[in-house]
Amino acid sequence: MKILRGIAVSPGVAIGPVLVLAPRGPRLTRRAIPASAVAAERRRLDRALESARIEAEAAEGDARSRLGPQYADILAAHVRMIADPSLRREAAARIERDRIAAEHAVFDVLDGYARRLERLGTAHLAARAADVRDIQRRILEQLTGQPPSPAPANAPVEPLLLLAEDLTPSEAAALDPGRVLGFATESGGRTSHTAIIAAALEIPAVVGLGRVLDEARDCRSAIIDGDEGLVVLDPDEATLSRYRRQAVERATRFAELASLADLPTETADGQRVHLLGNIEFPAEVDACRERGADGIGLFRTEFFYLGTDGPPGELQQAEAYAAVIRALEGRPVTIRTLDLGSDKAEPGRAQHVEPNPALGLRSLRRSLREPNTFRTQLRAILRAAAETGGDVRVMFPLVTTLDEFRQAKATLRDVAAELQAEGIPARADLPVGAMIEVPAAAIMSDLLAKEVDFFSIGTNDLTQYILAADRTNETVADLYTSADPAVIRLIDMVARAAGDAGIEVTVCGSIAGEPLYTMLLLGLGIHRLSTPPHQLPEVKRVIRAARSEEARALAREALRCGSAAEVLDLLQRALRRALPDDPALAGDDGA
């Protein structure tokens, strides 16, 4: 048995036989051509681009029917890249200048694009390089007649686990959950389109394992643990028995949790709690409603930009926002304005590589520097709110100073007046909130609370900034924890400022979806939690088991702790007391 550790990107556990895919990459022998063959090679290039475009359109159509429009838009961007005249122009120029075959010209051009993205040194842009290599593969298959062997869609019929060097977004979108129980890859990250599609398919997935295919080729079976980011090759009987038992317990627990969806979200002593959903795409609204969400506490809007080859238009955005607002049927929808930065860059935009993107031009500060993009998004939000008449709130990310928030709010007022002057219906009365993700904003929260309509605490960024520990850097992973007393004290400070000002405060960072933290947050006076859809049932179960006074006592004790280890031990003991019948907690010794 061998245990491999990677990055969990889609939850769940899958057990089964293994298919190891052959390494990707074209098998090309460089081939020179005479001048007389240049015209023929250009015609080959044109035919291959057209065939690849048609194939990509078919993949987009399939994804649109099975996964929904937002996921299909990822593949639609591939279609546009293949059809981009500049790709044909550059490849044709190489055929003429270097006297090389069309496949080599295509390989060189797209390899250059991908390498430049990878050299920019951020996880997000490296993930976008995978999209470039996906279209490179499509075109080269047309030119060389060398399809992947075996391709995921052509895998044996028996349900199995896929292990691969990587899966392109189009390959992931083509997976049949009835035949592929889960997959794991050597490369990839949390922000890749492949990871996003895996979560949409609800297939357990682990990426970023490193070089493991050679030792996996001879394994007979495996376990993919998409909760913990583990792959177990040839598990022994004890491990298999443990995972199978956990699978039965998980299925039983999920069935029980599903019955909570229609029950009120309140503590055992009647304290009302608002449990909301975090979404990336409009299609996720259904999952939130099915799991009993009270609304959307965080609608991220970055993927409208990252999944396309240019900024989306005002009407395109307004339609997407309106679709979510209508689907919620009067429940609140909090739309976060763009949280783009050097680690999340739009296609088609010149990139400035910053030495420390987390401390650079990102989120609200970038929106204020790029008013046209910002105003277009605000116009779309105000139009969607007016068109639907829904409960819509606007939230600015990474607010650092009072002046910054005031400038953003003034822009919102200007945009509303501009729309009204144009005779376009727009809502000018939307509640406006600030995300508390920077220690400066938390420290100034008593003054900021006088000017905002609500707070939302983004604990992921707040934790990394408080502890000076990059949340994507494994070398400081031991420092990065929201259980650190300094983090808890700042959350308490923000919650008190909100309470004194009489405004709502929500936690929408990752700890909002972790049952271990639920009672602590309730005890700190936070009664609005926003989580990814799949985490809603577990958090609701803890809420309904908690008692307000016990939660407050837990928070008081946690605020006196001197280390994260003390806090975690305290929270684990409190969770076991609240859920004494949970077998998953019975053997937890707090380590």
H/E/C letters for each residue in 115-132? HHHHHCCCHHHHHHHHHH
Residue 5 marked ligand-binding? no
Q: How crowded is residue 26: how many other Cβ atoms within 10 Å of its Cβ? A: 17
R_g of the chain computed on alpha carbons: 25
Nearest of 277, 358, 261 to residue 324 by alpha carbon: 277
Residue 73 marked ligand-binding? no
Taking the alpha carbons of 138, 140, 141, 146 in that order, is the dihedral positive or negative? negative
Strands 454-457 and 432-436: parallel
Residue with tokens 């019955």: 259
Nearest of 325, 342, 338, 391 to residue 367 by alpha carbon: 338
Residue 469 near residue 484 (C-beta atoms within 8 A): no
Q: What token pair was written down for 281? A: 């795409």
The Cα angle at residue 44 between residues 40 and 45, in degrees rounded to 5: 115
CA distance 156 to 183: 14
Strands 392-396 and 333-336: parallel
Residue 471 marked ligand-binding? yes
Known catalytic membership, residue 274: no
Q: Which of 78, 104, 124, 508 is catalytic?
A: 508
Nearest of 536, 486, 546 to residue 287 by alpha carbon: 536
Q: What token pair was written down for 28? A: 């090309």
Q: Which of 78, 104, 124, 193 is catalytic?
A: 193
Helix and strand numbers, DSSP H then E, in the chain: 24, 16
CA distance 436 to 458: 6
Residue 299 near residue 567 (C-beta atoms within 8 A): no
Strands 221-225 and 230-233: antiparallel
Q: How far is CA 458 from CA 298, 311, 494, in A?
A: 10, 26, 12
Residue 437 marked ligand-binding? yes
CA distance 456 to 526: 10
Strands 392-396 and 432-436: parallel
Residue with tokens 């006088």: 450
Half-sphere exposure of 401 (CA within 13 A, CB side): 5
Residue 223 near residue 201 (C-beta atoms within 8 A): no
Known catalytic membership, residue 508: yes
Residue 83 near residue 174 (C-beta atoms within 8 A): no
Active site residues: 193, 508
Q: Which residues are annotated as a binding site?
A: 300, 336, 437, 460-461, 471
What are the binding residues for Mg(2+)? 437, 461
Binding site listing for phosphoenolpyruvate: 300, 336, 460-461, 471
